[in-house]
């Protein structure tokens, strides 16, 4: 269908499913084991919202800052690997659209385009984040992180939920053949295995020995804010706070890692409750992000009302560029903006500060 017939982020997924080659669809859409968590990620957002009325919602504003960087949406583009499996321009579709619309992209370690190609495609001063898979060879990781900082990256998201990649069986049934992932096998992904599906093939360099003891080392090699991506429990949220990092992402990797883990939205409530006992809240020095299953502005607003600083979207933007390139991503931003405007008016919030926990029926969410 022509792009103007796309009305929501689900429509991009439906188009991507039809047009993508089997291998790309399997890699992008798959989740681990029985795919329970990926369904849970969507189900959690079915929690209901009581709306407030008669508040003069003529003007509503959803702009914000994320890790100190201005963002026109309370949403950032979460890292999804291997963009060229789905579109010849790969991640650059995201970079260009994000630059035009003031949205922040998180560059994946396993991007199909090289890190420098992506940074070169950004506007001067366009904020970018970096997602990091930590190499067994720390000299490689150090060089990569310091290069990113030198090139102006504004936040380092260390992925901590993937000491081993999940078994995504749809993907494993497909074999990784040579170069067909469009992935340049770069220095930071050396040691590739080719007989276990795309995801496992490209991830064999990741260091499973990574531990809390390594955090001071990361702090010593960079001044970028450090965010741990893939936190699920209040215990680990507190350890992260104590370790002195600047934030966490409540994420289950889009259902691709530990299957049957809870959704980020469900974990948010318990984690915020614990963090409130450990310091100021909201904490200007410690951000809590959520990702997984976010497809609608109402999803975004629920997470923010419960205390998230911003939310990440992976597949929503990925499917937008697979189907329509850069224009698809621009359309996705516009759809989210339209939905935010309507939902904020109907919810009775004129700006993001007016989103409060009472706006989500959290008891129903936790019983869910
Ligand atoms: C991911 N994700 C991911 N995360 C990460 O830290 N490093 C990575 O390389 C990837 N790669 C990746 C590939 C694909 C195809 C998907 C779908 C996801 C996880 C991603 O950053 C994010 O946590 C989820 O995508 C969020 O869930 P939704 O928005 O896809 O439902």
The string of pLDDT tens digits covering residues 95-139 is: 999 999 999 999 999 999 999 999 999 999 999 999 999 999 999
Q: Determine the distance separating the centroid of ligand 1 and the alpha carbon of 346, expressed in angstroms.
A: 31
Residue 292 beta carbon below 6 angstroms from any ligand 1 atom: yes
How far is it, in rounded angstroms, from Cα 92 to Cα 111? 10
| Pairing outcome for strands 69-71 and 156-159 | unpaired
Residue 314 beta carbon below 6 angstroms from any ligand 1 atom: yes
Residue 343 beta carbon below 6 angstroms from any ligand 1 atom: no
Residue 129 beta carbon below 6 angstroms from any ligand 1 atom: no
Q: Determine the distance separating the centroid of ligand 1 and the alpha carbon of 107, expressed in angstroms.
A: 11
Residue 41 beta carbon below 6 angstroms from any ligand 1 atom: yes
Q: Determine the distance separating the centroid of ligand 1 and the alpha carbon of 256, expressed in angstroms.
A: 8
Residue 291 beta carbon below 6 angstroms from any ligand 1 atom: yes
- Tens of pLDDT, residue by residue over 309-321, are 999 999 999 999 9
Residue 330: HSE in the Cβ half-sphere, 13 Å Cα cutoff: 13
How far is it, in rounded angstroms, from Cα 366 to Cα 361? 9
Residue 77 beta carbon below 6 angstroms from any ligand 1 atom: no
The structure's pTM equals 0.96
Residue 32 beta carbon below 6 angstroms from any ligand 1 atom: no
How many residues are recorded in the chain?
368
> Which entry of 253, 259, 319, 324 is annotated as an active-site residue?
253
pLDDT per residue, tens digit, the chain (368 aa), is 999 999 999 999 999 999 999 999 999 999 999 999 999 999 999 988 889 999 999 999 999 999 999 999 999 999 999 999 999 999 999 999 999 999 999 999 999 999 999 999 999 999 999 999 999 999 999 999 999 999 999 999 999 999 999 999 999 888 765 555 444 445 555 555 556 677 777 788 999 999 999 999 999 999 999 999 999 999 999 999 999 999 999 999 999 999 999 999 999 999 999 999 999 999 999 999 999 999 999 999 999 999 999 999 999 999 999 999 999 999 999 999 999 999 999 999 999 999 999 999 887 776 65
Confirm whether 133 is a catalytic residue: yes
How far is it, in rounded angstroms, from Cα 91 to Cα 159? 19
Residue 229 beta carbon below 6 angstroms from any ligand 1 atom: yes
Q: Which of 20, 21, 39, 78 to mutate to test the pocket of ligand 1 (most atoms within 8 A of CB)?
A: 78
Instruction: Give yes or no for a contact between 322 and 20, defined as CB atoms under 8 angstroms apart.
Output: yes
How far is it, in rounded angstroms, from Cα 256 to Cα 140? 26
CA proximity to 256, closest of 39, 21, 22, 20: 39
Q: Determine the distance separating the centroid of ligand 1 and the alpha carbon of 246, expressed in angstroms.
A: 21
Q: Determine the distance separating the centroid of ligand 1 and the alpha carbon of 79, expressed in angstroms.
A: 6
Report H helices in the chain: 9-19, 22-29, 36-44, 92-101, 115-121, 138-150, 169-172, 197-202, 215-221, 234-243, 264-276, 297-305, 315-347, 362-367
What is the predicted pLDDT for the residue at 26? 96
CA dihedral 297, 301, 303, 307 (to 10 degrees): 150
Atom 10 (ligand 1): residue with closest C-alpha? 80
Q: Determine the distance separating the centroid of ligand 1 and the alpha carbon of 154, expressed in angstroms.
A: 19
Q: Determine the distance separating the centroid of ligand 1 and the alpha carbon of 162, expressed in angstroms.
A: 11
> Which entry of 161, 171, 236, 259 is annotated as an active-site residue?
161
Which one-letter DSSP state was computed for residue 310? E
| Pairing outcome for strands 69-71 and 75-77 | unpaired
Atom 2 (ligand 1): residue with closest C-alpha? 80
Confirm whether 253 is a catalytic residue: yes
Class of residue 2 by CB neighbours under 10 A (exposed 0-12, middle 13-18, buried 19+): exposed
């Amino acid at each position: 269908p022509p792009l103007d017939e796309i009305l929501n982020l689900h429509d991009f997924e439906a188009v991507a499913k039809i047009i993508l080659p089997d291998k790309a669809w399997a890699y992008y859409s798959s989740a681990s084991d029985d795919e329970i968590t990926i369904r849970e990620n969507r189900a959690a957002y079915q929690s209901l919202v009581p709306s407030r009325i008669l508040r003069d919602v003529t003007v509503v504003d959803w702009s914000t800052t994320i890790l100190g960087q201005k963002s026109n949406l309370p949403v950032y583009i979460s890292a999804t690997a291997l963009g060229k499996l789905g579109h010849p321009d790969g991640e650059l579709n995201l970079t260009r659209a994000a630059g035009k619309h003031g949205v922040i992209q998180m560059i994946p370690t396993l991007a199909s385009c090289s890190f420098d190609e992506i940074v070169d495609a950004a506007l001067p001063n366009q904020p970018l984040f970096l997602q990091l898979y930590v190499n067994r060879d720390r000299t490689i990781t150090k060089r990569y992180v310091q290069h990113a900082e030198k090139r102006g990256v504004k936040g380092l998201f260390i992925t901590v939920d993937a000491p081993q990649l999940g078994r995504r069986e749809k993907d494993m049934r497909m074999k990784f053949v040579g170069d067909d992932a469009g992935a340049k096998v770069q220095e930071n992904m050396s040691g590739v295995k080719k007989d276990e599906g795309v995801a496992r093939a490209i991830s064999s360099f990741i260091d499973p020995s990574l531990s809390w003891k390594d955090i001071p080392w990361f702090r010593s090699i960079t001044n970028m804010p450090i965010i741990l991506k893939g936190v699920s429990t209040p215990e680990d949220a507190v350890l992260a706070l104590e370790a002195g990092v600047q934030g966490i992402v409540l994420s289950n990797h889009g259902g691709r890692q530990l299957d049957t883990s809870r959704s980020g939205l469900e974990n948010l409530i318990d984690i915020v409750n614990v963090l409130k006992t450990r310091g100021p809240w909201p904490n200007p020095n410690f951000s809590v992000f959520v990702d997984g299953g976010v497809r609608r502005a109402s999803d975004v607003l629920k997470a923010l009302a419960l205390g998230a600083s911003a939310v990440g979207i992976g597949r929503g933007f990925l499917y937008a560029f697979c189907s329509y390139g850069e224009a698809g991503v621009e359309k996705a931003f516009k759809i989210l903006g339209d939905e935010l405007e309507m939902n904020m008016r109907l919810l009775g919030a004129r700006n993001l500060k007016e989103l409060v926990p009472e706006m989500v029926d959290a008891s129903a969410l936790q019983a869910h």
